[in-house]
Amino acid sequence: MITGKNYIGNQLSAKGTKVYKTFNPKLNIENSNIFTEATSEEINEAVNLASTAFKTFRTLSGKRKAEFLNAIADEILALDDKLIKTYCSETGLPEGRAKGERGRTVGQLRSFAELIAEGSWVEATIDTAQPDREPMPKSDIRKMLIPLGPVVVFGASNFPLAYSTAGGDTAAALASGCPIIVKSHPMHAGTGELVASAIVKAAEKTGMPNGVFSNINSSGIEVGAQLVKHAGVKAVGFTGSIKGGRALYDLAAQREEPIPVFAEMGSINPVVILPKALNNRGKALAKTYAGSITLGTGQFCTNPGLLLGIKGDALSSFIQDLSNEIVKIEPSCMLHPNIIGAYENHKKNAISQPNLTVVADYESDVQTNYARQTIATVEGKTFLENPTLHQEVFGPFSVVVQCEDKNQLEEIISQLEGQLTGTLIADDNEVANYPEIISAMQNRVGRIIYNGVPTGVEVCPSMVHGGPYPSSTDSRFTAVGIHSIKRWVRPFSYQDWPNDLLPNELKNENPLGISRLVNNAQTTKAL
């Protein structure tokens, strides 16, 4: 049952008076549940509980934390149809997507569980003593990764499951030993509460300390700001707009004790289509890209918002083909009236720019909250001179830039802001002629794709989801995959520490059997 209350640790709580509802964009009506925004007092309580829980949670073994993560996955699955129905009613997304995202979420939880149950992720590093070294004896020093402390996670509008309550940030931070306070996304507060109830149930079943998880409701920005400014909070995870992410980053940087903010923000994901590929398979590419641009109503952070080619007949034909293909696709529903409102506004602003031509615009009537897909085109020079065209239009909208030549193409790529992805569409025999393009692209993105589409972010160890600012606030980390755990940890050294007081990861006998760097050689052996 959805209560509309906050979870302050394991307790449901609704002391506030400010309330709000979620919205069904497909039916264009409010949902019935009433959510109560957390009070300042409730926020303080959640953070204080998290700080206390941290003292024990961080000392638990990887196996115990893995039990907790697996139990969360089990409890999410046990929510069954109720979760899927709530998800759909709060997002307008189809059931298939809901189930797919649930699978991804459960998969992420289980992959972190596997990682920490095995245990080598802590990067245990041991340098043994050399008491006879001259001129100074060398101490025994041992290092491992330890958790930072309570982490605040902001739910994402476009991924109610995989990047929200029990999503990637939460899974990674819990795995590392950090308690979590989720600032639930107001557009899917019911989905959030259901998942929160699964986490709380899992925490209780596996004996986790109260406060290891809290779920905070809020429809405005004050609650999030209070959380980020709270001295007890030690790191922040965010997925959303540049404006929102930057605001949190600024608050965190201005604290007396600045804390890391890992915000995954906007991206227009440039796609470069080289001439031979355009010539040889322009029609097929047009069809593929019409699909990628409209996938999930364009509501992916890896949506291809910018296609770059070199002027000519092949590019003109491609633009025509893409236009023909994209209007064949049935428009679909966006997540919320605010999201479609923003889409319409940003698109209107983009297409009102001088020297821009709209080449495809879905014209038939659509249901309320459904987005019309649009393709526009500009010359390279126009694009270079107008930064407005470099901004993301969140939704099924793309601009095709017709560059004069290879040099202008390189210049445009070099001047783009940081991006999550860059894609190169090429024939194998032409790539070698464009080393500067590849080099320029690599310098602006976190992931580079060859003859594919940027949408679809595989959850695997080799994935980088992140990139130069503003695609993320800290390009030194990925937000997806097991290595995303590194956002929430710090290295810690023990010098000459007695063996029986060391954590198991660093004991002589290597009781966990993990892989360690011992005197500069990687080994699973005991000392």
419-458 binders of a second copy (CB under 8 A): 428, 431-432, 438-439, 442-443, 446-452, 456, 458
> Least distance from C-beta 235 to a second copy, angstroms?
9
Q: Can you spell out the DSSP letters for 251-279?
A: HHHHSSS---EEEE-----EEEE-HHHHH
The answer to the question of residue 517 lying near a second copy (CB under 8 A) is yes
Among 405, 522, 525, 526, binds a second copy (CB under 8 A): 522
> Least distance from C-beta 204 to a second copy, angstroms?
24
- Pairing relation of β-strands 235-239 and 151-154? parallel
Size of the site for a second copy (CB under 8 A): 75
- List the x/- string, 459-498, binding to a second copy by CB under 8 A: -xxxxx-xxxxx--xxxxxx----x--xx-xxxxxxxxxx
Would you call 264 a catalytic residue per the annotation? yes
**Token pair for 369:** 């909250």
> Least distance from C-beta 449 to a second copy, angstroms?
4
Q: What is the rounded distance in angstroms from the CA atom of residue 370 to the CA atom of residue 122?
A: 46
The answer to the question of residue 3 lying near a second copy (CB under 8 A) is no
Among 209, 244, 304, 418, binds a second copy (CB under 8 A): 418
- List the x/- string, 492-511, binding to a second copy by CB under 8 A: xxxxxxx--x----------
> Least distance from C-beta 127 to a second copy, angstroms?
4
- List the x/- string, 128-167, binding to a second copy by CB under 8 A: --------x-xx-xxx--x-xx------------------
> Least distance from C-beta 193 to a second copy, angstroms?
29
Q: Among residues 116 and 199, whose Cβ is nearest to a second copy? A: 116
Q: What is the rounded distance in angstroms from the CA atom of residue 142 to the CA atom of residue 125?
A: 6
Q: Among residues 355 and 495, whose Cβ is nearest to a second copy? A: 495
Q: What residue ranges in 282-407 does DSSP mark as E strands? A: 306-310, 357-361, 374-379, 397-403
> Least distance from C-beta 113 to a second copy, angstroms?
14
The amino acid sitting at 398 is S
Among 127, 379, 411, 430, binds a second copy (CB under 8 A): 127
Catalytic residue selected from 88, 178, 301, 403: 301
Are 366 and 394 within 8 A, CB to CB?
Answer: no
Q: Can you spell out the DSSP letters for 73-103?
A: HHHHHHHHHHHHHHHHHHH---HHHHHHHHH
Q: Among residues 87 and 121, whose Cβ is nearest to a second copy? A: 121
Which residues are 306's β-sheet partners?
Answer: 270, 399
Q: What is the rounded distance in angstroms from the CA atom of residue 193 to the CA atom of residue 216?
A: 9
Give the HSE-up count for residue 179: Cα atoms under 13 Å, Cβ half-sphere.
31
- List the x/- string, 5-44, binding to a second copy by CB under 8 A: ----------------------------------------
Among 257, 354, 364, 365, binds a second copy (CB under 8 A): 257
**Token pair for 269:** 């994901």
> Least distance from C-beta 448 to a second copy, angstroms?
6
Q: What is the rounded distance in angstroms from the CA atom of residue 203 to the CA atom of residue 512?
A: 24
Q: What is the rounded distance in angstroms from the CA atom of residue 258 to the CA atom of residue 229?
A: 9
The answer to the question of residue 236 lying near a second copy (CB under 8 A) is no
Q: Look-up: residue for tokens 């972190």?
A: 112
Q: Among residues 189 and 457, whose Cβ is nearest to a second copy? A: 457
Q: Look-up: residue for tokens 């952070």?
A: 301
Q: Look-up: residue for tokens 């160890």?
A: 461
Q: Among residues 252 and 315, whose Cβ is nearest to a second copy? A: 252
> Least distance from C-beta 464 to a second copy, angstroms?
4
Alpha helical stretches, state H, 162-241: 168-176, 189-205, 222-229
Q: Which of residues 54-83 bind a second copy (CB under 8 A)?
A: 55, 59
Task: Pick the stretch among 13-21, 283-291, 332-340, 515-523 that binds a second copy (CB under 8 A).
Answer: 515-523
Q: Among residues 254 and 357, whose Cβ is nearest to a second copy? A: 254
> Least distance from C-beta 192 to a second copy, angstroms?
27
The answer to the question of residue 249 lying near a second copy (CB under 8 A) is yes
Q: Tell me, what DSSP letter sits at residue 188?
A: G
Catalytic residue selected from 45, 90, 264, 417: 264
Output 403-406 pairs: Cβ under 8 A, ≥24 positions apart: 403/308, 403/309, 403/310, 403/311, 404/310, 404/311, 404/379, 404/380, 405/310, 406/310, 406/434, 406/436, 406/437
**Token pair for 275:** 């001439």
Q: Nearest to residue 231, comparing CAs of 54, 51, 52?
A: 51
- List the x/- string, 268-287, binding to a second copy by CB under 8 A: --------------------
Q: What is the rounded distance in angstroms from the CA atom of residue 264 to the CA atom of residue 454?
A: 16
- Pairing relation of β-strands 270-273 and 306-310? parallel
SS3 245: helix
- List the x/- string, 80-119, binding to a second copy by CB under 8 A: ----------------------------------------
> Which residues participate in catalysis according to the annotation?
264, 301
